[in-house]
Structure 1
């Protein structure tokens, strides 16, 4: 089942490939943010799948944000077999040889209008090239006999160390975030990120479209669990998992956010769709889990779903909302759980803050995250009603 699930992941890199839109940026910086390769990567054992050095993009802060840092972990799928990791190393998601400069938009933009609260911060996008949410610590052998490097945990540690030498050690405020597989990585490393700074520094985390749930697919199998289980064992992610969870549960269970959030003590904001388009397409209704093409049209666009199919999606929503109860009960945490058919909302202007952005409590995602981070409201916890109740959900939102 994991192999069946993997095909669309590789073909489309559906797990939140962070595509940066073409919105212009302010004249004070170049439109494209160039790639910086990690110094001394090989000596630190911090390399991509193919052994090349990992990279990141750093856009310097200015004015009142010159000493604030936003670190964004890129998403882009997982690889769970030697075959899939071999394919992946021939792309930008497994080798820095294929990485290029990128545009920063949405939460990453340096334009006040597009990103009012974080535009003048130091903003870093860490490129994703390990295939296991920056968590692996192992080596493997490629099909052609060459080495495969599963060094996501080393990449995380080495990039943080390098950013500290570039000014992050004097940060006054910091935020760790990411999209999809990168969002899961932000949860995995949230408390470790907090430990990098003195206690008087405001440090928080944000998870965007990374709340993957362990739900049965349409055939009754647990496709996503099978995939995660293979990743956990192939890439050896144990060291990145909460020790308290590992004492009582299998590592595969501990890789799921429902367990991760129980151990996170750093204030965290969970941004997710109740009808996450990636999870519906690849975990709830993956290829091979249903007869014929009955679900193809529905999972391509929720507006095409029959009433019976919508009931199934409501069941998915119910499971996700129930697993978020832990976050809902944590005092310093925030929630923005909309009912839009989408996946990854922070890196796109259209969903982050625009005329047609999703709204809950009459607030955009950007406004809600800002209210939470800066304490402008006592509590920022929004959970939407069932689809199709929210008129601010747009068909133009990204769906991975």
Structure 2
């Protein structure tokens, strides 16, 4: 089975043109420290400098794009931009939360933006010393080293003097936010405020339509295959029994150990989870009665799994009822979809700029209540 967490961006709202153009930075010196993509090529990120009074505020986005859960799949991945930096272009255009158009992203348009390229295949968490030879090619599971190397590079190139920093990402990048937010906090100077905005990363451990729990075995396998134990939240790893340490690799469980404030952004009907965790086999309204029964039961299951964040007074939430996976990189979803009359942009801004004095928790009614989703 192949897992592409970040590729199924199933939206029904047309995407607006991205306006922020960012420049590629290839970290060739990182190779000496073993921080390399699956194919051994150097890690990279794109940067767009901010302007005006917000230019020293930073948004650092971790790209999504699934996992590779076995050697053959990692070999295939190593020949794509999700496993190799050899084909990255000199620029990248960004939108949504990373857009620099103040009409589309008014509170964050002038911030400096970093877009970290994803090329390791295990949510920036792998930390295996020796390469694995597959079909005569060396593969490197070094995602955690990549992430730390990028953070340290940024800290030598402006981040160390930032006024504020937000760590974010969607899909596998969203899950990475839950996993790595406290590590990022520990590396950034203590006087710099740090917050997290994980998008579509709260994957849950739930039964599929047949009543089977398939994901514990999958997470556990990738946990060992990529040697991710040292690349996870260590408070979580130390608290779990040996057979349960894989849970720290999953947004649902990693969240409970986070100390850094964050804002949970997710659809309660995340289409990736409907397809690959619930295994629904259809997209409402084009489902039969049995499928719709399971679809309708998914929302209370998801909200129960989300209850630690719902009950946490320091966490903000924007949980819509759209059939979508990943929303923060699309200006339409980021600024036009609303819950209780509030967009994701406005909900996050309200929570963020209140410095914890406002608890923003926008949770949508059941599908198909929300007309802004279509």
Q: 1:170 aligns with which of 152, 155, 161?
A: 161
Does residue 80 (structure 1) correspond to residue 69 (structure 2)? The answer is yes
Of 267-276 and 314-323, deviating more is: 314-323
1:92 paired residue number:
81
Does residue 148 (structure 1) correspond to residue 142 (structure 2)? The answer is no
> Using the alignment, how far apart are the partners of 1:148 and 1:198 within structure 2?
34
Report the TM-score when normalising by structure 1: 0.86
Report the TM-score when normalising by structure 2: 0.92
Q: 1:103 to 1:21 in 2, by over 3 A?
A: farther
2:302 paired residue number:
320
Unaligned stretches of 5+ residues in structure 1: 26-30, 286-294, 395-400
Helix, strand or coil at the partner of 1:103: strand
Does residue 265 (structure 1) correspond to residue 259 (structure 2)? The answer is yes
**For residues 91-240 of structure 1, what are the structure 2 equivalents within 5 Å?**
91-100=80-89, 101-138=91-128, 139-240=130-231
* Residue deviations 1:61-106 (CA, integer Å, cap 9, x gap): 1101111000000000100100000000000000001222321111
| 1:242–1:254 contact (8 Å) kept in structure 2 | yes
> Using the alignment, how far apart are the partners of 2:22 and 2:146 within structure 1?
20
> Using the alignment, how far apart are the partners of 2:247 and 2:182 within structure 1?
19
**For residues 388-399 of structure 1, what are the structure 2 equivalents within 5 Å?**
388-394=368-374
Does residue 364 (structure 1) correspond to residue 327 (structure 2)? The answer is no
1:45 paired residue number:
34
1:292 paired residue number:
none
Shift in Å at residue 219 of structure 1?
3.0
CA RMSD of aligned residues (A): 2.1
> Using the alignment, how far apart are the partners of 1:99 and 1:174 within structure 2?
25
Q: 1:385 aligns with which of 351, 354, 365?
A: 365
Does residue 304 (structure 1) correspond to residue 263 (structure 2)? The answer is no
Shift in Å at residue 255 of structure 1?
1.4
Q: 1:98 to 1:126 in 2, by over 3 A?
A: same
| 2:97–2:334 contact (8 Å) kept in structure 1 | yes
Number of aligned residue pairs: give it.
366
> Using the alignment, how far apart are the partners of 1:374 and 1:60 within structure 2?
21
> Using the alignment, how far apart are the partners of 2:135 and 2:188 within structure 1?
43
Q: 1:222 to 1:15 in 2, by over 3 A?
A: farther
> Using the alignment, how far apart are the partners of 1:359 and 1:16 within structure 2?
19
